[in-house]
Amino acid sequence: MTTVRGGLRGWAAGRRGSLARLRFTSLRLRLVVVFGLVALTAAVSASGIAYWLNREAVLTRAQDAVLRDFKQEMQTRAGALPAHPTQDELQRAAGQMAASSQRFSVLLVGRDPGGRTVYGNSGGLNEFSLEDVPASLRTAVNRRQKTGDGNSAAYHLYWQRIDEHGTPYLVAGTRLAGGGPTGYMAKSLEPEAKDLNSLAWSLGIATGLALIGSALLAQAAATTVLKPVHRLGVAARRLGEGRLDTRLRVSGTDELADLSRTFNNAAEALEKRVADMAARDEASRRFVADMSHELRTPLTAITAVTEVLEEELEFEGGGFDPMIEPAVRLVVSETRRLNDLVENLMEVTRFDAGTARLVLDDVDIADQITACIDARAWLDAVELDAERGVHARLDPRRLDVILANLIGNALKHGGSPVRVSVRIAPGEDGDDLVIAVRDHGPGIPEDVLPHVFDRFYKASASRPRSEGSGLGLSIALENAHIHGGEITAANSPDGGAVFTLRLPRGSDPAAEPDPDTGSDSHTDPHTDSASRSASGREGS
């Protein structure tokens, strides 16, 4: 069954590919149509001209032969009759005339000695009679012409082509100048018409073959032209997918070969540029990582000293001079800020290096949010709307980092109370956990919204230095991404900003190290500096 389904899918994909190649906007179809139209126009024009020339030649040749024979018969047979022949004489002469090589029907009209009009018919063509001769032809035949220098005969031979029940005929007539009978002739042109129909069919078949040949030639030409274009499109897609070593095989010296060379040169330059940028980026990350690690050692000692100084400041009977007490407090505050910045930089380098991993556990979301708020003494400023018993399989430490940054950001830049709500919503692969953090502040300016998760971004150029590291929200977003989730920022219609965290309830990480040996399990959720840092919105 699997093989059958795979075959059907392959057939459907091939059919879709064929239809895509023949879509009305494709260059291949346009080339075929243009070639076909050109060939059809040329073939129809040539066939039409050939048919018209052959038709005139065939009809003229047959017509001239018949008229010449009829004229000769009129002179020899009808001219031998007396001026007033009897009907028998006309009948006999008409029969003799019809027996000529052209086999036409003859009608002779004369006046007998008594002055009556008599007719002589050869008996062919269903008794050819005077009614079968067009009136205009009879009038022209009986019209006497003036004789002179340019005209020596009083009567002339006239002819006309007619169609009778779908059969073409040649009808002609003339009158003897010496007072003899008037003769009419009818000749069927059906054999010539059949020859012309055969010629038309032959030309039609030739036109069809020319059209088919032009379509095949157009297909061959389109394949010749479009194959390099197709290869170029495939190479461009591979290049867009990040395979920068993609190159085209160049053959020939035409424009397509020049295009392939240009593509190869551009791909080579792009590969070199990306390699240089990657090397500089790697050197930059290595520098940040090394500096962060190097700073941790002296910071550990400095932090221990500042903790002692802080305890001494809080002791009622402290021995600090009131003049230096502000300086000591500034040293303690800045040391704590520097320690948070170093921890955040180390966290960022883990994400950039791809070494960040999840340590999953079954988490009660309401308990986790309560613990995060309680650890930072935010219970009076935060409203929690979450039911107990809503569980999700997440990394508790990273969820705490996300919540601490979102809630701290809302408290710092928004307005109290901050409301945290939890709900379950359907997702692509099951149910998703949705946590919304809303404040009651002025909201986020529209020009700032696209940049709230950028590293070190400052919403106001007048405040380049703030308490936050400018990395909190970007670290929160990275922690959401590593869970397979997302964080979005927006302004509420009722005022204030809303940050929405959406995570799948059951993550399936690529690697899940043991908590005792994992590289990211080095800090406690409530003491981790990234969790304690409530990064500024402008630096997020």
Is the model's pLDDT at 418 over the cut of 70? Answer: yes
Structure tokens at 520: 């990211």
Is the model's pLDDT at 538 over the cut of 80? Answer: no
Tally of residues, the chain: 540
Q: Which helix (H) or strand (E) holds 425?
A: strand 418-427
Neighbouring C-alpha atoms within 13 Å toward the C-beta of 260: 21
Picking from 293, 487, 303, 507, the residue whose alpha carbon sits closest to that of residue 405 is 487
Tens of pLDDT along 364-380? 999 999 999 988 888 88
Picking from 401, 403, 438, the residue whose alpha carbon sits closest to that of residue 418 is 438
Give the separation between CA 152 and CA 161, rounded to whole angstroms.
Answer: 26
* Residues contacting 138, CB < 8 A, separation 6+: 130, 173
Evaluate if pTM is beyond 0.75.
no
* Residues contacting 362, CB < 8 A, separation 6+: 391, 392, 393
Looking at residue 79, its pLDDT comes to 78
**Local confidence band at 499 (pLDDT 50, 70, 90 cut-offs):** very high
Tell me what the mean pLDDT of segment 159-188 comes to: 83
Give the separation between CA 503 and CA 434, rounded to whole angstroms.
Answer: 7
- CA-based torsion, 317, 321, 326, 331: positive or negative: negative
Kindly state the percentage of the chain with pLDDT values over 90: 6
Is the model's pLDDT at 12 over the cut of 90? Answer: no
Where on the phi/psi map is residue 126: left (φ > 0), alpha (ψ -120 to 50), or beta? left
Q: Angle between the 27-76 and 190-240 helix axes, to the nearest 10 degrees?
A: 170
Long-range contacts of 123-126 (CB under 8 A, 24+ apart): 123/95, 123/98, 124/98, 125/186, 125/188
Tens of pLDDT along 183-223? 888 888 878 778 778 878 888 888 888 878 877 877 777 77
- CA-based torsion, 501, 360, 358, 483: positive or negative: negative
Q: Which one of 1.20.1560.10, 3.30.450.20, 1.10.10.10, 3.40.50.410 gives the CATH number of domain 27-144+153-198?
A: 3.30.450.20
Top mean pLDDT of 195-209, 483-497, 523-537 is at: 483-497
Picking from 340, 347, 535, 405, the residue whose alpha carbon sits closest to that of residue 457 is 535
Greater pLDDT, 483 or 295:
483
CB 422 within 8 A of CB 416: no
Tell me what the mean pLDDT of segment 277-287 comes to: 75
**Local confidence band at 142 (pLDDT 50, 70, 90 cut-offs):** confident
Least confident of 20-34, 59-73, 146-160: 20-34
Kindly state the percentage of the chain with pLDDT values over 70: 81
Looking at residue 37, its pLDDT comes to 80
Question: What torsion do the CA atoms of 426, 432, 433, 436 make, to the nearest 10 degrees?
Answer: -60
Looking at residue 437, its pLDDT comes to 93
CA angle 327, 331, 334 (to 5 degrees): 130
Looking at residue 513, its pLDDT comes to 44
Long-range contacts of 2-6 (CB under 8 A, 24+ apart): none
Return mean pLDDT, the chain: 77
**Local confidence band at 519 (pLDDT 50, 70, 90 cut-offs):** very low
**Local confidence band at 501 (pLDDT 50, 70, 90 cut-offs):** very high
Give the separation between CA 525 and CA 502, rounded to whole angstroms.
Answer: 21
223 CA to centre of own chain: 20
Greater pLDDT, 13 or 403:
403
Give the separation between CA 181 and CA 377, rounded to whole angstroms.
Answer: 137
Looking at residue 14, its pLDDT comes to 54
Top mean pLDDT of 20-34, 221-235, 294-308 is at: 221-235
Looking at residue 25, its pLDDT comes to 58
Structure tokens at 519: 């590289």
Tens of pLDDT along 118-141? 888 887 545 678 888 888 888 888
350 CA to centre of own chain: 41
Greater pLDDT, 509 or 426:
426
Burial class, 88, CB count within 10 angstroms (exposed 0-12 / middle 13-18 / buried 19+): exposed
CB 480 within 8 A of CB 501: yes
Give the separation between CA 433 and CA 505, rounded to whole angstroms.
Answer: 6
**Local confidence band at 320 (pLDDT 50, 70, 90 cut-offs):** low
Looking at residue 512, its pLDDT comes to 46
Looking at residue 319, its pLDDT comes to 60
Is the model's pLDDT at 481 over the cut of 50? Answer: yes
**Local confidence band at 522 (pLDDT 50, 70, 90 cut-offs):** very low
Tell me what the mean pLDDT of segment 298-326 comes to: 72
Least confident of 22-31, 105-114, 254-263: 22-31
Tell me what the mean pLDDT of segment 343-351 comes to: 71
Neighbouring C-alpha atoms within 13 Å toward the C-beta of 330: 5
Tell me what the mean pLDDT of segment 270-289 comes to: 79
Looking at residue 1, its pLDDT comes to 44
Q: Where are the domains of the chain?
A: 27-144+153-198, 256-340, 357-459+468-504
Q: Which one of 3.40.50.720, 3.40.1190.20, 3.40.50.2300, 3.30.565.10 gives the CATH number of domain 357-459+468-504?
A: 3.30.565.10
Is the model's pLDDT at 453 over the cut of 80? Answer: yes
